[in-house]
Structure 1
């Protein structure tokens, strides 16, 4: 199993992440399971401590605000501000939480690598930083990890690749033999970063980020072609045709997911949640559900990787839409279709591949009327002439039909596919970037 997953761009090298299945002995599987459990324990302990420190800091700030108010000095007519001692109750950060957890370590924790705790607290600090980022207002607070989650994992910055085999960090004082982990494919010969190990559906995987120098990435040859990509639920339109994002095999997998979900829900309703979850049949059905989810994820990732690679191979300039997906999710059915179409993942993967291979990626303005503009004459539909999800009531047209009512247009009163018209409008932005705005 070999997948490209990441595209973080560094100054002198690119980060290229690949995932491999891990084959380990029974003893090493127990080690992996214990590390997953310890990572979850460290995260939950750190989050509980972080919440306590954050609540205490907020109370302290409120007390200082009400007690130490600015007072006016009658002699100098200046404001006298009483400074508070921030060291009495500092704002929580990952280093403070880490030090507190290290001080309170139990004896059994010393049988684990100290880096497991530090990396867990570092990730928690990043999660809190994202929560306070105003650019992400809908980002939720970090939550506690559950042992019942289908995916469990941990990170390691001390794991090493030696002769194609993966060696975990051995804790001090451990007398057992430490066996290497076998990967499903031969790893790349580049420096590595922090590795992520995870367990899904009884199988073990590892994501290895490679630091590849920029000079090692071979740029794609110029083709002299350009295209726009119109994103739709279920298919993407480009100059060479359209790409189905929900093929038949993926729809069949989603039908299996729906079937297994109904079985589990029926068992919980009949037997009760706690009793049903202890049943062997329930656990067997849950395992099948997790396997179906994994298959759907693999199919989607394979489609996206192949489609984006085809675009950077055949086109020098690519135009895509800047969609506000959250505002587009108006109903339960539409939300599910947009989620399965993976608009965000498509943009993420295409962005780093264009950066790697020297292609130009243009993002259209959110207000650019690619759907309402005629690609031939440039007339923009406004008011009751606009095309909506239900078509156009004034002219009785369908939602996938575009008809230009400009008498001087060659396409006057002709039915044109709306998605193809939008794709052509996006392609126009390559030669006419001044149009990339609200019209």
Structure 2
């Protein structure tokens, strides 16, 4: 099983230049490879005997036309960049891909720059990259301490973002199945909280709300500076300092939310054998900008992604309820389904004057909490 660890890198001044050169070289190889690919395709349409573009033909063309300065950089950066370009063209012919589209050129102005290598090693708790030929000064890179560095290391992705360096370290590890508990659970996801069989998890605690208020303040100040000073605003020291604070708070929000999801999903796979969740279409749920913001902050998609791979890791079973399953409208006591004017909306039910969290069954007279009723309905699918 492949388990990926995201770690912070702390390179010295020399290795920082090496990482920057690797990021620039990957972008160069991608852009030149894309130009070569397009030229080969155009030529093959005119002359059928000319070679058609592929990962191998484009890679061989770039290797044959290497400049002298390229030999001072890792050859694996070029190889893996063209391999990813070939995968991008394969995905272009599959419109079912989430980010479907034609491969585009990489920009040096992008906030995130990176490269890949499959020859990195972990030596004494530090990351060692492959050393190019005729290179004298070379150092191992210190890694953040909390990382679990056990297993066989695969293709490492290194990237620079907001002046900081990160690495995704995929390890091939052997994971044992979690012991069976004989218990099942269901999770009903809502904006701001997740309900499950034994309780509730708040995904937007007070600390995050304070951070979001600061983010809103920084965004307003930056927008005001751009309106007053136009192009010169982004070059001022005050603007750069405030933008750094905004990015810092965004990182804090992401880290805290991801930590909540990781702890919650680990708790689920430790305590339950089968877990039921809803197969939600989040894009169709974004009715306006207010609802879109709440859905984005609640991390529905990230929760499903993490829970899916953890269930695969530890031998637990994950069930997805059909999108048409009326978990909110169905009564968990008698099975009656609300229809027409009796349906519960985000504001409750105007006809019967019920609130958002109230579920009143007009068939058996049961009075239930809306979220607890949805969890019970999902649990009936097991």
Quickly name the TM-score band, shorter chain normalised.
over 0.9
Q: Give runs of aligned pairs for residues 105-124 of structure 1, distance below 5 A.
A: 105-124=66-85
Q: What is the SS of the residue equivalent to 1:352?
A: helix
**Unaligned ranges ≥5, structure 2:** none
Cα 1:230–1:87 change in 2 (3 A) is: farther
Larger Rg: 1
Instruction: Please name the residue that 2:138 is paired with.
Output: 178
2:164 to 203, 207, 212: 203
SS class of match (1:277): helix
* Counterpart position of 1:21: 8
Select which of 266, 281, 286 maps to 2:243.
Answer: 286
Deviation at 1:299, TM superposition (A): 0.9
Distance (Å, rounded) in 2 between the aligned partners of 1:160 and 1:278 = 40
Structure 1 alignment gaps of length 5 or more: 1-13, 64-84, 431-439
CA gap 1:55/1:402 in 2 versus in 1, 3 angstroms: farther
Counterparts in 2 of 1:405-416, with a 5 A limit? 405-406=362-363, 409=364, 411=366, 414=367, 416=368
TM-score by length of 1: 0.81
Q: Tell me which residue corresponds to 1:155.
A: 116
Are residues 1:231 and 2:189 paired? yes
How far 1:138 moved relative to its partner?
Answer: 5.7
User: CA 1:187 to 1:365, structure 2 compared with 1: closer, same or farther past 3 Å?
Assistant: closer
**Residues of 1 paired with 2:148 and 2:337: CA distance?**
53
TM-score (norm 2): 0.92
Q: 2:29 aligns with which of 42, 66, 75?
A: 42
> What is aligned with 2:222?
264
Q: RMSD between aligned alpha carbons? A: 2.1
Q: 1:330 — aligned with what? A: 287
Cα–Cα, structure 1 residues 173 and 257, in superposed 2: closer, same or farther, change >3 Å?
same
Deviation at 1:375, TM superposition (A): 0.6
Structure 1 distance, partners of 2:284, 2:43, is 36
Q: 1:259 to 1:95 in 2, by over 3 A?
A: farther
* Alignment match of 1:318 (pick from 267, 272, 275): 275
What's the offset of the Cα at 1:40?
A: 2.0
Q: For residues 183-217 of structure 1, what are the alpha-carbon distances to aligned partners after superposition, in whole Å with 9 as ceiling and x for unaligned?
A: 2226533211001112233222211111012xxx2
Partner of 2:300: 343
Q: Is the 8 A contact 2:150 2:173 kept in 1?
A: no
Other-structure match for 1:77: none
Q: Which of 345, 359, 371 is equivalent to 2:328?
A: 371
Deviation of 1:56 after TM superposition, in Å, equals: 6.2
Judge conservation of contact 1:376–1:410 (CA < 8 Å) in 2: no
- Maintained 8 Å contact 1:201/1:291: no
Counterpart residue number, 1:296: 253
